[in-house]
Amino acid sequence: MPPGDRENIVILGSTGSVGRSALDVIEHDGGVRLRAHGLSAHSRLGPLVEQALAFRPRSVACSDPAGAAFVADGLKGSGVEVVSGRDGLARMVGDPAVDRVLTAIVGAAGLEGTWAALEAGKTVALANKETLVLAGPLVMDLARRRGAKIVPVDSEHSAIFQAMAAGRPGEVRRVILTSSGGPFRGKTARELASVTPEQALRHPTWKMGPKISIDSATLMNKALEVIEARWLFGLEPDQIEVVVHPESIVHSMVEFVDGSIVAQLSPPDMKLPIQYAFTYPDRVAGSCPLLDLTRAMSLSFEPPDRDTFPALELGYEVMRRAGTAGAALNAANEAAVGRFLGGEIGFLDIPRACRRALDTHPFDPRPTLDALWRVDAWARLEVGRWKP
Ligand code: NAD
Ligand code: MG
């Protein structure tokens, strides 16, 4: 591939877990197909400066001017442009040279960049699932209007996206999302009452950022993912199922009307779905480990424990209600996870706080984007002052 044909990629949230894996993918490619065209981060800006010096993107974006000044100082003489704020971000992703935008910012804060990328008609490699939980119908509608593709990066959705290619959309009976079960699989509610943030952050099969690690421990991550799947693939709520698969090898499955189930398997490593979203529709050899089927292994499946992990049910409820319910659940969860990590509330209080926010929020079945942001702010405030 000549250099002019390389995919110019913007990585929003490049200092995070997904962002760093994405830069590993680009580094391993060695400049053949992929180029880091833009990077962004929010805090811990030292690593952003180091990334920019190593990958020499055209520009880097910081959330605020103070951060941008710090980064500009570190990049003096490098020729890398430093931008900040909403306009700077929109300019970076809207640059005509940009081909794909990886949205790897955590939380509702990721919506802005995803929105700007879709508005500019870019192909979005979507890691930021909260975008679709908050505003799924509006985001999918924007993508349709702008003719922008969304290629999922979340491993389950990447698996479904890949398996979907085995049939036509009308031939899909249901999708089955797999869940590792998290670090507390098999525990009782009694045992969970006293778990610490440190224990909850220790995921058995994936290495991820703190927020999604806690979400994986409560199974809120799977709740967010069923909502993500609903909007991403245009499925009805009763077409989406969850099964616990502790080995995290089968990343999800699609069942077609004839009863065939098509699955995607690989070792648990985010580099694979990230790379696929960068090269789609092509597949290329990469740096991901291969599954060694000459070694004995077993793959097991069991139903999720919905009583001990009530967060999962919240996801189903939100998926059925739609409207502002996703905004309320997502923001309540972000606030509750923050309080749990800060030692203010217990592990089991996370789904409790979310339940309350969901039940008491001013529900609107057909919200505008502004209305969704109002519910987001309301839920953060409510959970912030909620007393267990
Ligand atoms: P992380 O906490 O490791 O990194 C988050 C990144 O977002 C950092 O670069 C940070 O600077 C940036 N950021 C944080 N707040 C911001 C804000 N207000 N404005 C702008 N930038 C901000 O998170 P992560 O684990 O890499 O996850 C990123 C996203 O990908 C999440 O939505 C998560 O659900 C999703 N995801 C992650 C994994 C994984 O393996 N880590 C897997 C699937 C999906
Ligand atoms: Mg996932």
pLDDT digit string, tens, across residues 276-292: 999 999 999 998 999 99
Ligand 1 centroid–CA 1 distance in Å is 31
Closest CA to 188 of 305, 303, 301: 305
Ligand 1 centroid–CA 62 distance in Å is 14
User: Of all protein residues, whose CA lies closest to atom 36 belonging to ligand 1?
Assistant: 127
CB 248 within 8 A of CB 180: yes
Which atom of ligand 1 sits closest to the CA of residue 43? 11
Say how far residue 64 (Cα) sits from the centre of its chain: 23
Ligand 1 centroid–CA 127 distance in Å is 8
Q: What is the pLDDT of residue 204?
A: 86
Ligand 2 centroid–CA 81 distance in Å is 33
Residues of the chain where predicted confidence (pLDDT) is lower than 50 = none
Cis peptide before 281 (omega within 30 of 0): yes
pLDDT digit string, tens, across residues 222-267: 999 999 999 999 999 999 999 999 999 999 999 999 999 999 999 9
Ligand 1 pocket (Cβ < 6 Å) reads 13-19, 41-43, 63, 104-106, 109-110, 127-130, 154, 206, 208-209, 211-212, 270
CB 104 within 8 A of CB 11: yes
pTM, two decimals, is: 0.97
Q: What is the pLDDT of residue 5?
A: 85
| Separation of alpha carbons 353 and 302, rounded Å | 28
Q: What is the pLDDT of residue 264?
A: 98
| Separation of alpha carbons 242 and 231, rounded Å | 16
R_g of the chain computed on alpha carbons: 20
Q: What is the pLDDT of residue 71?
A: 98
Q: Which residues are CB-neighbours of 338 under 8 A, at least 6 positions away?
A: none
Q: What single-letter amino acid sits at 27?
A: E
CB 61 within 8 A of CB 71: no
